[in-house]
Chain A
Amino acid sequence: MGFFAEHARQLVAALGRLAQHPGSTLLTIGVIGIALSLPAGLRVVVNNGRVLAGSWEHAQDFTVYLNMEVSMDAAGILAQQIRGLDDVADVTFISRDDALEDFKRYSGFGDVMRALDSNPLPHALVVRPRTDLEPNAIAELAKVLERREETDLVQLDTAWVDRFRAMLDISRRAVDLATALLALAVIVVIGNTIRLEINNRRREIEVTKLVGGSNAFIRRPFLYLGLWYGFGGGLLAWILINIGLQALSGPVAQLTGLYTSTFRLAGLPWLESIALLGGGGLLGWLGAGLATSRHLAAIEPQ
């Protein structure tokens, strides 16, 4: 009981010490907060990218353009046949007339199309493979369909999704690297702040050693100071990220609306929020630990 009560007292005392110099405290916490918000913010961006990539499962769809000679009826029969294949989940038939209507409406070339006396577009089938199909199997299916004599061209659109995922993987690695570097920077910043604090309190440390204070006893308030710096920085980073998300959510909703997507910008999940605050505190503790173990022993009463 006494032990924990003493620690709790020192924890609060360290907070009180920070409150005595609000200017420099806020400055230090500001630096740490910004340093922490960078990797945490990038992580949010990458996580959102993954959610986005996940919602593109249907981007495995591919389009089979039929020869111009294939009639409407034959195309319908072909659609039925393909729909019956094991690897196919669904087939949407887009007739050349529908395609022309869509093209006129969305391409902006409506007037040009009207100038033509015949429809240049073929019938098309949008094939949706089963979702559990491997990319190789999808390519295989596309090849099979390409070999049919009714087929003019098969357009597989998965390549860019794969590229996007590969880029996402690289970004995740880069964010991990940035996280490690900035965590190191936070340790250095807090370590340096604690070192200055140790210099400011040199007299007090000397006196405490003279009346029998152990290194552990003298160290404790500095460790708590580091803990608060780190925790404060983590809290600031959390606030900055949420402000950033607020600022971005409007434009993102507008953008995804244009793509008729239901994608919503995800914030920091509570587990990662706790990790941010706790991680900040831990880094502060570590920085203070390094600074105290290096500089406290050097101060001896004269």
Chain B
Amino acid sequence: MISFQNVAKRYPGGHEALRELSINIDAGEFVFLTGPSGAGKSTLLKLIALIERATRGSVIVNGLNTARVTRRKIPAYRRNIGVVFQDHKLLYDRPVFDNVALPLVIAGMGRRETQRRVRAALDQVGLLGREGHAPVTLSTGEQQRVGIARAVAARPPLVIADEPTGNLDPALSVDIMQLFERFNEVGVTLLIATHDLELVNRLGHRQIKLAAGRLVDDGTTVSA
């Protein structure tokens, strides 16, 4: 599903966020991306979402070399990837329904089908019945679940998340991770960047460890 080959990313100004990184993630995997701040976790996710482009090496997502995705084709490319952010990135001037429906409206889906899918997505995150609420009236954990519902509403095969539990207390974090596990069970590939090592170790999924832009452990070789 995701393949990095000798990828380097150097930002203007000279900061090398990733160096000679090679990883492979198969379809249907549930992978944690860990490492200290500045290890390059966010950069790696940005390369997948084409928010940034690799300086060297190739990034292949869903069989597509991202270097060949032109600016014009980026929107269509992004529709196949669900993205969850630490700060949710919700539109606060619109109700929950509109937030979750956004990717479906963009995809040009009909009204009836949109309503059906928004309800289904909200049902999966446990927020059915809150369609008309304003995001600010929800708790932080609920807002993050709205963000997740938006990421999965269009049923993308790949969902990436950048510190999705960064602002949540431990109990809520577990809730969110279990939510991700349920999506993984129905075949969605998940790549989640987090620094919550305790939670990662408890859930026991594959873990890709980065430090200073380099791969420390890609989680495929069994470690004690």
Are A and B physically bound partners?
Answer: yes
B-contacting residues of A (Cβ < 8 Å)?
2-3, 5-6, 203-204, 206-215, 217, 300-302
Q: Which of B51, B93, B103 contacts A211 (CB 8 A)?
A: B103
Number of A-B contacts (CB under 8 A): 50
A-contacting residues of B (Cβ < 8 Å)?
49, 51, 75-79, 83, 89-91, 93, 102-103, 106-108, 110-111, 150
Q: A203 to B90: give the CA distance in the assembly, Å.
A: 9
A211 with B110, Cβ < 8 A, contacts A204-B91, A300-B51, A302-B51 known: no
Q: Which of B51, B106, B110 contacts A213 (CB 8 A)?
A: B106
A207 with B91, Cβ < 8 A, contacts A213-B106, A301-B51 known: yes
A212 near B107 with CB under 8 A, answer yes
A2 with B108, Cβ < 8 A, contacts A210-B49, A211-B150, A212-B78 known: yes
A211 near B108 with CB under 8 A, answer no
Q: A213 to B150: give the CA distance in the assembly, Å.
A: 13
CB distance from A208 to the nearest CB of B (A): 7
A211 with B78, Cβ < 8 A, contacts A2-B108, A302-B51 known: yes
A207 near B103 with CB under 8 A, answer no
Residues of B within 8 A of A213 (CB): 75, 102, 106
Q: Closest chain B residue to A214 by CB distance?
A: B75
Instruction: Name the residue among B76, B78, B150 with the largest chain A CB count within 10 angstroms.
Output: B78
CB distance from B203 to the nearest CB of A (A): 26
Q: A217 to B110: give the CA distance in the assembly, Å.
A: 15
Q: A210-B78, A211-B102, A212-B106 are in contact. List 8 more A-B contacts (CB 8 A).
A: A207-B102, A210-B83, A211-B79, A211-B103, A212-B103, A214-B76, A214-B106, A215-B75
B51 near A208 with CB under 8 A, answer no
A211 near B91 with CB under 8 A, answer no
Residues of B within 8 A of A6 (CB): 108
B106 near A208 with CB under 8 A, answer yes
A212 near B51 with CB under 8 A, answer no
Q: A6 to B51: give the CA distance in the assembly, Å.
A: 28
Q: A302 to B150: give the CA distance in the assembly, Å.
A: 19
Q: Which of B79, B90, B91, B110 contacts A212 (CB 8 A)?
A: B79
> Can you list 29 A-B contacts (CB < 8 A)?
A2-B108, A3-B108, A203-B89, A204-B91, A207-B89, A207-B90, A207-B91, A207-B102, A208-B102, A209-B75, A210-B49, A210-B51, A210-B78, A210-B83, A210-B89, A211-B78, A211-B79, A211-B83, A211-B103, A211-B106, A212-B76, A212-B78, A212-B79, A212-B107, A213-B102, A213-B106, A215-B75, A217-B75, A302-B51
A217 near B89 with CB under 8 A, answer no
Residues of A within 8 A of B93 (CB): 204
CB distance from B118 to the nearest CB of A (A): 14
CB distance from B153 to the nearest CB of A (A): 9
CB distance from A5 to the nearest CB of B (A): 8
Residues of A within 8 A of B91 (CB): 203-204, 207
Q: A48 to B187: give the CA distance in the assembly, Å.
A: 75
Q: A6 to B75: give the CA distance in the assembly, Å.
A: 19
CB distance from A196 to the nearest CB of B (A): 16
CB distance from B214 to the nearest CB of A (A): 24
Q: Closest chain A residue to B80 by CB distance?
A: A212
Residues of B within 8 A of A209 (CB): 75, 78
CB distance from A64 to the nearest CB of B (A): 80
Residues of A within 8 A of B78 (CB): 209-212
Residues of A within 8 A of B77 (CB): 212
B106 near A217 with CB under 8 A, answer yes
Q: A215 to B77: give the CA distance in the assembly, Å.
A: 14
CB distance from B218 to the nearest CB of A (A): 27
Residues of B within 8 A of A215 (CB): 75
